[in-house]
Each structure stands twice: as structure tokens, then as C-alpha cells.
Chain A
């Protein structure tokens, strides 16, 4: 009973932390379970995949209702994140756990460095009435097939660009999600925003919408192959869900600057522990 409660409370903490920092819980669930509770790494990744689907599900619905998430663009990119996740789900069962730990340590160190640096200015979105509006006004889809398709994927005030490189980035996001048990927003948001020209708010919401398909594709493989333990998943998933709900309500009342520093320190420490595990020192 004590361990179940500890997992529940740990999940709540991870959910609040992740939600306040806009990172989701995925990055912290695996260290919580492996370093905190001694679960095997692959099993922790399976649990983490379930947690990120649960936490993204409810918020994705809200983003869709508020018309922030781009359903069409998300659907097209999901095809590629799902293909990447399929590939990652296959590779995950072939890789040595020490290599997975090394990959995780590298990811955490990268995020820690990114968080420690000052945030760059968000790229300006194309003003209303941009190329997307022109393309739509030019006529029905099919007049120029490619432009028509891009116009249907674009929003009222922005035009999607670099579609094919975006497909490549989505495959990378899918592989990373399946290998490391994360939602993949760390890759998808920059791909959508910086590469494809989608405004940051829409990119974040669309990435959130895509998490369900990305993570569930590989989670099915983990579940069927015995890589998801329901006893460990239950308390963690409920904790993370409750924590993320609390975090989203606290978000506008909390100064996250101090929290970012604390988070950077936590990430660096867990990266160090994961690197030790990768090197067989722990």
C-alpha cells in the first residue's frame, strides 16, 4: 500500500511540474520509476507512454473545441509520427537497456541546456489574409493540387511550409517517443513552429493532439509484448493525470523562473544517474 501511495504522490508531483513547465510529464516519469522505484527501464518507458496519452487526451479535446489545434495538419503529420513510433517500438525491444539509458541521459542533458538558455523570440506568424487565404480564394482544391492541399492544411492566418521536411521531423518525433516514452513535443513543436511556419500556440496544441496517435502506436506493441505492467501503471497514471490537472490551473499564478532552475538541476542530476546506468556504474 505504501509503495502504491508513493507512486501516486510521485505521479502528482511529476504531473504538476511537467504541466507548469509545459513539458508534459513524459520526461520525468521514466526517471521517477527507474531511479525512484527500481523498475526496469523498458517497463518504465511503457508506463510513461500510457501516462502521456492520458494527460494529453483531455487537453487535446479542449484545444480542438477552442479551434487552436489544427486537426487536418495534425492528421497528416500523425501518419508520419505513427510510422516513426512503429519503427521505434520495434527497435526498443532489440536495444540493450544500457543504450536506452544512454539515449535518455543525452535527451535530458539536451533539455536541461535548452531550459538554462534564454528563450528565443517566437517567430512572427504570417498576418491574416496571407498566402493561405489567397490560395483558398483562388478556387477549389484541384485547381493546383499541391497548393490546394497546403491551403487546406493551413490556418486562416498562417500558411504551412516545408511540408516534406516536416514529414521527416515527424518520423524522428515518433521514433523518439517510442524509444524514450515521451510525447515527442520536444521535436514536434520546433518542427511545426520553426520549420513549418505554424504559430507557436497552434503548434503546441497540434503537437498535443498528435500525442495520442504517436504514443499509442508504440504503446500497443509494449502492451502486447508485456512491456506495460498494470500495477505500476495504475497509480502513476492517476497521479500524473491529477497533477497535470492541478498544474494547468496553477500555471498562471506561479512564477516559473525559479521552477525552471530547479527543473534544470533535476534534469542534470537524472541525466548523470542515467549516464552512470548506461556505463554500468550503478
Chain B
């Protein structure tokens, strides 16, 4: 029973950690996007204009140059990455709590997310999509 209650306590700690990750990730992403929106408003761009495509190699340089799209892209990546980080932390938390089954489930969730990224990269370009 002691081992069981220890697992429960550790899992409860995990919930607190995940809650912090969700909060920091969400507010951090919202801050980045808000900076990008202020920059859009300041430069008089229209949200209906086509934005430059995401080029990860140029992101740091564009951030330093204070380009609105750099803050927006980084904010969007932070939004999409936060749930995956939450699952990654869950893998470690469940594993440490001795819950191998839940750790395996969390790893499988990460694999499915990764598959989405791989399919996105390997799939046809937007121009070939049905319209």
C-alpha cells in the first residue's frame, strides 16, 4: 500500500508540473504572438496579405530585425509545441512513478504527433492540394 500511495503522491506532483508547463507555454506563446500583432498594427500591414513562409533558418535573424512574422511564427510554434512538451514531461513523470503502462501510452502519443510533423514535411505542397 505504501508503494501505491507514493505513486499517487508522485502523480499528483506531475499534475502540478504539467499545469505549470501549460501556463508558461500558453502565456509565453500569447506574449510572442501579441508582440507580432502590435508590430503588424504599427507597420500598417493587413492580416489578409500573404505572410512570408516559415523558414526556420531565418527565424533568429528575423527576430533580431524585429520582423512581425518572426514573432508570430515563433509564437505559433510555441503554441503547437506546448502540448508535446507536456506529454514529454508526462513520460518522465509516469516512468519515475513506476507506471510503465502510462509512460508507454505517453510515448505512443508523442510518436503520433511526430508522425504528423513527418507527414506534413513529406506530403504534397499546398499548391497541389485540392481547391
Q: Please, how many angstroms separate the alpha-carbon atoms of A149 and B100 in the complex?
A: 11
Chain A CB within 8 A of B64 CB: no
Cα of A149 to Cα of B130 in the assembled complex, Å: 43
User: Once the chains are docked, how many angstroms separate the CA of A241 from the CA of B31?
Assistant: 11
Q: Are A61 and B20 in contact (CB under 8 A)?
A: yes
Interface string of A182-215 (1 = CB under 8 A from B): 0000000000000000000000000000001100
- Determine if A220 and B116 form an interchain contact, defined as CB atoms under 8 angstroms apart: yes
B126 in contact with A4 (CB, 8 Å): no
Chain B residues touching A, range: 35 or more
Interface of A is mostly: helix
Q: A230 touches which one: B16, B27, B51, B81 (CB < 8 A)?
A: B51
Q: Which residues of A contact B11 (CB under 8 A)?
A: 71-72
Q: Is B96 an interface residue (CB 8 A)?
A: no
Checking A61, A218, A227 against B126 with a beta-carbon cut-off of 8 angstroms, the contacting residue is A227
Measured between C-beta atoms, what is the minimum distance from B45 to chain A in Å?
7
| In contact, B15 and A231 (Cβ under 8 angstroms) | no
How many residues of A sit at the interface, in one of the four size bands?
35 or more
Does the CB pair A90–B119 fall under 8 Å? yes
Q: Interface readout for B87-131 with A: 1 if CB under 8 Å, 0 if not?
A: 100100000000101100110110011011101110111100111
A3–B129 touching, CB < 8 Å: no
The answer to whether residues A223 and B4 also contact, given A72-B102, A234-B47 and a CB cut-off of 8 A, is: no
Using a CB–CB distance below 8 Å, which chain A residues touch chain B? Answer: 1, 3-5, 7-8, 37-39, 42, 50, 53-54, 57-58, 60-62, 64-65, 67, 71-72, 75-76, 78-79, 82-83, 85-86, 89-90, 93-97, 136, 140-141, 149, 152, 212-213, 216-238, 241
